[in-house]
């Protein structure tokens, strides 16, 4: 009890809450995921694209080390070619913390929603960038009258293909101190 009080006094309370995260397929029921996940890391190992990573303490104590998605170098293709429709992360989960409802497909399983930061996006700086548009496998993006990408929210499933190819951080974004790419997949909870 004394240690807990000391931690809370030192600011640990901010870690006790919950930050919404983009979860792997089948992990969209946050309460079920956090309570059923035993942090076995089998989903991390099974992911052929290596995008499942452990949640950090900054994301909340309850969800720490539970699976989250990170689209730095690749995206979730639902293991389309490997497993006949069921993602490998769901298949290897021993506790069904990652469990898909009947009839779930890559198109109707919402992992998150892509959001464009127009201040940081190179296309909004008249460079003609359209990497995200070209990468989208679900036709969830269109180009506006100025040839800039726009997310079609009702088609976006949050796969991260757009985020994984965004070059804004390394190709001259003019926003100083930028920590995220110009297009980022946000958890559904944080976009409402």
pTM of the model: 0.85
Provide the pLDDT for residue 60.
82
Provide the pLDDT for residue 178.
66
* pLDDT tens series, the chain, 192 aa: 666 565 555 555 445 556 889 999 999 998 899 899 999 999 999 999 999 999 998 888 888 899 999 999 999 999 865 556 789 999 999 999 999 988 888 889 999 999 999 988 999 987 789 999 999 999 999 999 999 999 999 999 999 999 999 998 877 655 556 678 999 999 987 555
- Is residue 110 within 8 A of residue 157, CB to CB? The reply is yes
- Under 8 Å CB-to-CB from 51, ≥6 apart: which residues? 69, 70, 71, 73, 74, 75, 76, 160
Provide the pLDDT for residue 13.
46
CA angle 153, 181, 174 (to 5 degrees): 120
- Is residue 88 within 8 A of residue 37, CB to CB? The reply is no
Provide the pLDDT for residue 18.
67
* DSSP assignments along the chain, one per residue: -HHHHHHHHTTTHHHHS-------TT---HHHHHHH-----HHHHH-TT--EEEPPGGG-TTTTTSEEE--SS----TTTTTSTTS-HHHHH-TT-SS-PPTT--TTT----EEEE-TTT-GGGGTS---HHHHH-TT--EEE-TTS-EEE-TTT-----HHHHH--TTTTT--STT--S-SEEEE-HHHH-
Integer Cα distance of 80 and 1 in angstroms: 49
Provide the pLDDT for residue 125.
82
Beta-bridged to residue 6, according to DSSP, are none
Distances (CA, A) of 121 to 86, 117, 137, 140, 148: 34, 6, 20, 17, 9
């Amino acid at each position: 009890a004394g240690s807990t009080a000391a931690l809370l006094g030192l600011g640990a309370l901010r870690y006790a809450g919950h930050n919404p995260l983009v979860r792997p397929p089948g992990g969209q029921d946050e309460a079920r995921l956090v309570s059923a996940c035993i942090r076995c890391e089998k989903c991390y190992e099974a992911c052929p694209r290596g995008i499942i990573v452990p949640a950090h303490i900054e994301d909340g104590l309850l969800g720490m080390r539970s699976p989250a998605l990170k689209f730095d170098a690749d995206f979730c293709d639902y293991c389309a070619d490997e497993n006949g429709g069921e993602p490998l992360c769901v298949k290897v989960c021993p506790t069904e913390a990652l469990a898909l409802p009947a009839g779930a497909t890559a198109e109707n399983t919402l992992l998150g929603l892509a959001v464009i930061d127009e201040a940081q996006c190179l296309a909004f700086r008249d460079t003609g960038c359209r990497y995200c548009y070209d990468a989208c496998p679900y036709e969830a993006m269109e180009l506006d009258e100025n040839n800039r990408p726009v997310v079609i929210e009702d088609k976006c499933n949050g796969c991260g293909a757009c985020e994984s190819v965004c070059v804004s951080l390394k190709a001259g974004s003019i926003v100083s101190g930028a920590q995220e790419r110009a297009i980022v997949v946000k958890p559904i909870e944080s976009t409402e």
